[in-house]
């Protein structure tokens, strides 16, 4: 019998008995392995798919992974999770490019590159802390991803320092962005970052630019010495500027175009505003722009109406009955549950119901411990961290005894949640999500569980035409053009897979879009010449058919 070694550590070094390259170590590393890299320069690139691995510089070592001689990423990852600790990267193309990968980068340095130093896409949360980026084409590009960028310096980049788009809502804290050819920070395509304590300086254009329905919250930031306006909001953009300083920039320091709904507050009260009616209207408009989900939108608006009226009654001295902010989101994966939960939290903040409205997504592994008593401690800790915002428990049914192994520990998490949800019901919104049938089973796990939730919101599967619309948004966001002759092909494909038990709705649409992009790339590489701009943007029916056939 062969036993695997969990948490195995492998050494990469220029010495006998060690792995000579990182690639050699990865080829033999089990999931969860830690690869310790000794002092030296390693001329190689790394490509990972659905791997869980840590790459860490040995104590006191200076480690450089040198991919400067190629035009693809030094580290590329799809799925899984990657932790980088104390690693230096020299890039020819992008340095780090991850898609649906839980990336953690600590104390890393990145230099050079004809592309983003760090590109993060997908739904997996990330954490980039105490890193230094210099000499890249762009600094950090965040698309549709939650996470944290903190204590990081980005300098001397040819384009934008930080880009946030496709509805991403990361926290960006205590970062320095200086020496950018374009903008220090660019928020667009519904980006919703919270930016705190950052310094932006020496930019060739605006210090912080917000466009295409972006809505950042900028708190206690400093923008100075920019060739363009310090902070600029385009029409249709929202968010808030709270206690920020703008010095030595083009006039005006802060620009709000006609139709922008951002609020600007200064002084001691900065950051305490609930956003008022403008913020509420902007958030409801964001909800309306989501494709499909008519029933969900109606339910959320009804909840907002009730909360607004309760606030008016309270101000008028009238009685207000008890209200629960806890909800059940029932439906298949990829139907927008996470996105709506984020908006719901921000709506509660705009209404003054919750002080922060921040979104904390967890799963079974974040709540359930390894021994009796450990689970209650983990669950209580997660709950306390989420006070003032939204605690979103995805696939919550895995906590019930009948739905998961180690059920007693899962039951302990449920029992702890039931008590805390009642004791702190006015300080937090707990949203549990999962398949409709399994959620019914989950509610039976504790006699008081069902009564803690005020409402169940049903998320229906997207129709084929709605999925076509979702693909269309991905195409536009990626600066592509899709041949309209592909529309019936896509609709027919989504209609065929809709009955599959594993149908992933928008997730399948995202997966197909990535497949179409790859098919286009393979087709263009065979041209034997540099493609034209039109060819680079064009996605053909043949690309769609190739992606479907895979």
Supply the pLDDT for residue 313: 79
What are 105's strand-pairing partners?
Answer: 84, 128
Average pLDDT rounded to a whole number, residues 381-398: 89
Supply the pLDDT for residue 25: 95
Indicate whether 133 and 197 sit together in one domain: yes
Domain CATH code at residue 241: 2.160.20.10
Residue 533 has pLDDT above 80, yes or no: yes
Supply the pLDDT for residue 319: 76
Indicate whether 392 and 376 sit together in one domain: yes
Of 343, 30, 297, the closest CA to residue 167 belongs to: 343
The residue from 456, 485, 516 where one domain ends is: 456
Residue 213 has pLDDT above 60, yes or no: yes
Indicate whether 309 and 242 sit together in one domain: no
Average pLDDT rounded to a whole number, residues 456-476: 90
- Residues 403-435 have pLDDT tens digits of 444 446 778 888 888 888 888 878 889 999 988
Domain CATH code at residue 451: 3.40.50.300
Strand pairing class (185-187; 162-165): parallel
Indicate whether 405 and 427 sit together in one domain: yes
Which tokens sit at 46? 């790394």
Supply the pLDDT for residue 277: 60
Average pLDDT rounded to a whole number, residues 494-511: 88
- Residues 275-294 have pLDDT tens digits of 456 677 778 887 888 888 88
Q: Sorting pLDDT into bands at 50, 70 and 90, what band is 225?
A: very high
Task: Give backbone dihedrals phi and psi of 374, rounded to 5 degrees, phi first.
Answer: -70, -35
Is 1 within a domain? no
Structural domain harbouring 473? 464-549
The residue from 456, 481, 507 where one domain ends is: 456
Indicate whether 544 and 511 sit together in one domain: yes
Which tokens sit at 266? 């200064």
- The torsion defined by the Cα of 213, 217, 220 and 225, in degrees rounded to 10, comes to -10
- Distance of alpha carbon 546 from alpha carbon 216, whole angstroms: 38
The residue from 429, 456, 483 where one domain ends is: 456
Indicate whether 199 and 285 sit together in one domain: no
Indicate whether 333 and 237 sit together in one domain: no
Indicate whether 344 and 287 sit together in one domain: yes
Residues 51/31, Cβ–Cβ less than 8 Å: yes
Domain CATH code at residue 473: 1.10.8.60
The strands making up 359-362's β-sheet, listed across from edge to edge, are 359-362, 390-393, 429-434, 327-331, 455-459
Supply the pLDDT for residue 7: 61
Residue 4 has pLDDT above 50, yes or no: no
Residue 259 has pLDDT above 80, yes or no: yes
- Identify the residue with better confidence: 319 or 482: 482
- Distance of alpha carbon 519 from alpha carbon 125, whole angstroms: 27
Supply the pLDDT for residue 278: 62
Supply the pLDDT for residue 270: 37
Is 188 within a domain? yes
Indicate whether 203 and 352 sit together in one domain: no
- Residues 296-323 have pLDDT tens digits of 999 998 888 888 888 777 777 777 776 7
Q: Sorting pLDDT into bands at 50, 70 and 90, what band is 266?
A: low
Residues 324/336, Cβ–Cβ less than 8 Å: no
Total domains in the chain come to: 3
E strands, 80-211, are 81-85, 87-91, 96-99, 102-106, 109-111, 116-121, 126-129, 132-134, 138-143, 147-150, 153-157, 162-165, 171-173, 176-180, 185-187, 194-196, 199-203, 208-210
Q: Sorting pLDDT into bands at 50, 70 and 90, what band is 210?
A: very high
Indicate whether 196 and 252 sit together in one domain: yes
pLDDT cut 70: percent of the chain above it? 94
The dihedral of CA 295, 298, 304, 307: what is its sign?
negative
Which tokens sit at 175? 């970062």
Indicate whether 500 and 373 sit together in one domain: no
Which tokens sit at 115? 């592309």
Task: Give backbone dihedrals phi and psi of 19, rounded to 5 degrees, phi first.
Answer: -75, 130
């Amino acid at each position: 019998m062969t036993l695997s070694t969990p948490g195995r550590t492998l050494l990469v070094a220029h010495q006998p008995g060690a792995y000579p390259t990182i690639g050699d170590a990865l080829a033999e590393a089990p999931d969860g392995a830690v690869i310790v890299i000794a002092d030296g320069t390693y001329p190689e690139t790394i490509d990972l798919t659905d791997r869980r691995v840590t790459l860490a510089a040995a104590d006191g070592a200076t480690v450089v992974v040198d991919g400067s001689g190629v035009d693809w990423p030094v580290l590329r990852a799809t799925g899984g999770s990657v932790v980088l600790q104390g690693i230096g990267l020299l890039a020819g193309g992008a340095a780090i490019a991850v898609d649906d990968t839980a990336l953690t980068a600590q104390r890393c340095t990145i230099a050079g590159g004809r592309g983003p130093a760090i590109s993060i896409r997908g739904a997996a949360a990330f954490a980039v802390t105490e890193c230094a980026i210099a000499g890249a084409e762009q600094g950090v590009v965040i698309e549709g991803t939650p996470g944290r960028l903190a204590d990081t310096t980005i300098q001397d980049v040819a384009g934008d320092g930080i880009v946030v788009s496709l509805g991403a809502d990361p926290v960006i804290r205590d970062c320095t962005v200086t020496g950018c050819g374009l903008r220090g920070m660019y928020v667009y395509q519904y980006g919703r970052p919270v930016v705190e304590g950052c310094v932006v300086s020496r930019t060739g254009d605006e210090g912080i630019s917000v466009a295409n329905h972006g809505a950042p919250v900028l708190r206690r930031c400093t923008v100075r010495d920019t060739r363009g306006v310090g902070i600029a909001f385009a029409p249709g953009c929202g968010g808030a500027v709270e206690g920020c300083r703008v010095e030595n920039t083009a006039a005006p320091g802060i620009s709000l175009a006609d139709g922008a709904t951002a609020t600007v507050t200064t002084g001691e009260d900065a950051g305490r505003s609930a956003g008022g009616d403008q913020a509420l209207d902007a958030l409801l408009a964001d909800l309306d722009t989501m494709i499909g989900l008519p029933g969900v939108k109606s339910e959320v608006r009804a909840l907002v109406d009730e909360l607004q009226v309760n606030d008016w009654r309270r101000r008028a001295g009238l009685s207000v009955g008890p209200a629960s902010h806890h909800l059940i989101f029932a439906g298949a994966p990829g139907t927008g549950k996470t996105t709506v939960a984020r908006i719901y939290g921000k709506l509660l903040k705009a209404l003054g119901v919750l002080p922060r409205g921040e979104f904390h997504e967890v799963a079974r592994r974040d709540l359930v411990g390894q021994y009796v008593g450990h689970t209650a401690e983990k669950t209580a800790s997660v709950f306390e961290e989420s006070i003032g915002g939204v605690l979103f428990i995805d696939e919550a049914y895995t906590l019930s005894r009948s739905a998961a192994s180690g059920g007693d520990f899962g039951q302990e998490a449920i029992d702890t949640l039931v008590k805390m949800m009642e004791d702190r019901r006015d300080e937090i919104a707990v949203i549990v999500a999962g398949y409709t049938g399994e959620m019914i089973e989950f509610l039976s796990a504790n006699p008081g569980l069902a009564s803690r939730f005020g409402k169940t919101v049903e998320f229906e599967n997207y129709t084929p035409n709605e999925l076509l619309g979702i693909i269309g948004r991905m195409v536009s966001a990626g600066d592509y053009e899709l041949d309209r002759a592909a529309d019936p092909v896509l609709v027919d494909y989504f209609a065929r897979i809709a009955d599959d038990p594993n149908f992933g709705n928008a997730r399948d649409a995202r997966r197909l879009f990535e497949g179409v992009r790859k098919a286009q790339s393979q087709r263009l590489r065979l041209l034997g010449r540099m493609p034209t701009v039109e060819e680079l943007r064009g996605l053909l029916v043949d690309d769609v058919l190739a992606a479907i056939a895979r």
